[in-house]
Amino acid sequence: MVYRESLSLDSMLSPFDTEVTAVKEALKAVLSLPTARFSENIWILTDNLEVARLLFQSPICSS
């Protein structure tokens, strides 16, 4: 599934806060699907390691 949605964001948000909001909204959308309860893994791709660390509170390796 590819999540595509327009979000109305405050123009004063920093780029970091914008990315955090986008990832959180994508996760909420995926978890609201009826099939989510059958999922063992959910993959969210972001190019911002700090956003991933903040949201998932785990060390992330980059190659």
pLDDT at 33 (0 to 100)? 86
Residue extents of the structural domains in the chain: 15-56
- Interval 1-27 mean pLDDT: 82
pLDDT value at 63 more than 80: no
pTM: 0.67
Top pLDDT among 24 and 59 is at 24
- As a whole number, the mean pLDDT across the chain is 80
Structure tokens at 40: 């063992």
Q: Is 4 exposed, middle or buried (0-12, 13-18, 19+ CB in 10 A)?
A: exposed
Query: 5 φ, ψ to 5°?
Result: -155, 145
Q: Is the pLDDT of residue 28 over 80?
A: yes
